[in-house]
Structure 1
Amino acid sequence: MDTADETARIRAVLRDQGDAERAEYERRYLKSDLVHYGVPVRVVRETCRSSARTRDEVLALADSLWDVTEDGRPVHETRMAAIEVLVRGTRLLEPADLAAAERLIRDSASWVYVDGLAEKVAGRLVLRFPPLAATLDAWSADPYMWIRRSALLALLPGVRTGSPDLERVSRYGDALIEERDFFIRKALGWVLRELSKKDPAWVGSWLAPRTSRVSGVTFREAVRHLPAETAEPLATAYRSRGAGRGRR
């Protein structure tokens, strides 16, 4: 595969499939300064289907697509394509390639790029190579909010496959439970929500002593799938927490 040729092919297909009205809607919804063609995610995925086949090709094509610019600005669809290439090629990647996902996360400023990289690339790598979880420990305390969010979301593959890292769910939860940023609160809630589908007792036990500290965003997600006999006492405790704290 010639990286430059494949990048040009993917870019041309995406541009040709674009819709100006959809592009404007996406720009506004994502509050984005990037160039948007207005292409559905389904089309991005189909366009990347026959791309990179080896580890080196995956990494090179992802970098090339991510770095595409138009009028001096990155292109949303080619960045989404870069993520898709990495997701499709995760089985080919090695432990050192977690750095590639981290580089792109640090170059992102939106959930629309961060979440796929965190869960479907970083998280799957950590699941395949457990020692990489030490990197998530560093991420959970990183100054960059999107890296902290990624530390949480990277735990999701383990949760979904029935092999959750409960120690890290608890530790990251305690470290981030009082974060003010919405995206951190939401991510913690998502992890607890997904875990509750498989282990509601653990989630209920973890939340019970923390109802005075947890944000409303996190709490609502965490209890969404809990059985009533578990959720109702937690909700009562959450509602009756100290006066004057207000809704968070």
Structure 2
Amino acid sequence: MTGSQVLIKAVRSGLAALGDARKAPEMQRYMKSELPFRGVSSPERTALCRRLFNDHVLTDEAEWRATVLTLWREAAYREERYVAIALTGDRRYAAWQTPSLLPLYEELIVTGAWWDFVDELANHRVGALLRRFPEDVTPVMYTWATDVDLWKRRTSIICQLSFKEATDTKLLATAIEANVGDRAFFIRKGIGWALRQFARTEPGWVLAFVDSHPDLSPLSVREARKHL
């Protein structure tokens, strides 16, 4: 077997061994997931990833990408997709984090289509690329801000949550303004979250933005003003 096949097999058997059939249905209900859960807690899954990623290091970028996509596309349980996302962020593969990964992350965001997947990808994968490669990634975020896909739009709004003083306020404002009329909960909540987080760094900017955008939803305004 290839290194990819060995790792995939180890992930599936490891999750099966840790699974708790009593917890799984409640986890599935909470996440409103069509995919069933194995019933593996987050700390257990993190420890499993650490051990397996140490034991099965992939040395080829194409193989690494293929492993991520196989775990994702062929997932029979939601935890397999969590592991796929964890693999994209493993430190051993930091050198492969370039704008060329955007199509991969786009697939995970569009097909994942739920906050547990998308928020991790938006903040720690797409956001990290935006910080390192702003000239390449910023134009993509402008495009995503007006995309038909809700989750790509949410990504464009929340991808700078950790940027603080480095926040591109033009991008933030444009992404919010492009979606201000959207009544979808995850868009309204995402707008509020992005503004609330930036208010920790630039409260004056956020207050001025909220005051100058009366069409912001009440939810977005409440979130934005939460700590002001």
- TM-score computed with the length of structure 2 as normaliser: 0.90
Equivalent residue in structure 2 for 1:76, among 52, 75, 78 = 78
Alignment of structure 1 residues 148-227 onto 2, 5 Å: 148-159=153-164, 162-210=165-213, 212-226=214-228
Amino acid at match of 2:67: L
Equivalenced residue count is: 219
Structure 2 distance, partners of 1:36, 1:152, is: 29
Q: Secondary structure at the match of 1:45?
A: helix
User: Which residue of structure 2 aligns with residue 128 of structure 1?
Assistant: 132
List runs of 5+ in structure 2 lacking aligned partners: none
- Give the deviation of 1:95 after TM superposition: 1.4
Structure 1 stretches of 5 or more lacking a match?
227-248
Render the CA deviation track for 1:59-101: whole Å, top value 9, x for unaligned.
23211211234xxxx3200000001111224632121111110
Q: CA contact under 8 A between 1:127 and 1:157: conserved in structure 2?
A: no
Aligned counterparts of 1:6 and 1:12: Cα–Cα separation in 2: 10
What fraction of aligned residue pairs are identical, expressed as a percent? Answer: 31
Rounded to whole Å, the distance in 1 between the matches of 2:5 and 2:166 is 40
The CA deviation at 1:150 is 1.1
AA of the residue aligned to 2:32 = K
**2:67 is the counterpart of 1:67:** no
Determine the structure 2 residue equivalent to 1:230: none
Q: Structure 1 stretch 11-20 or stretch 52-61: which is displaced more?
A: 52-61
The Cα of 1:53 is off from its aligned counterpart by 5.3
CA deviation after TM superposition for structure 1 residue 55, in Å? 6.4
Over the aligned positions, Cα root-mean-square deviation in angstroms equals: 1.7
Could you tell me which residue of structure 2 aligns to residue 236 of structure 1? none
Contact 2:199 2:205 in 1 (8 A): yes
Q: Distance in 1 between matches of 2:194 and 2:13?
A: 37
The reply on whether 1:109 has 2:113 as its aligned counterpart is: yes
What is the CA distance between 1:164 and its match in structure 2? Answer: 0.4
Residue 28 of structure 2 is matched in structure 1 by 27
Structure 1 residues 157 and 54 mapped into 2: Cα distance closer, same or farther (>3 Å)?
A: farther
- 1:157-192 deviation line (CA, Å, top 9, x unaligned): 323xx3101111111111112211000011111110
Q: Is residue 185–residue 215 contact of structure 1 (8 Å, CA) maintained in 2?
A: yes
**1:23-62 to 2 correspondences below 5 Å:** 23-50=24-51, 51=53, 52=57, 54=59, 56=61, 57-62=63-68
Write the distance in 1 (CA, Å) between the matches of 2:60 and 2:118: 21
Deviation at 1:58, TM superposition (A): 3.6
- Residue identity in the other structure for 1:14: L
Q: Which amino acid aligns with 1:113?
A: F
Q: Alpha carbons of 1:223 and 1:98: their partners in 2 closer, same or farther (altered >3 Å)? A: same
**Structure 1 length normalisation: TM-score?**
0.83
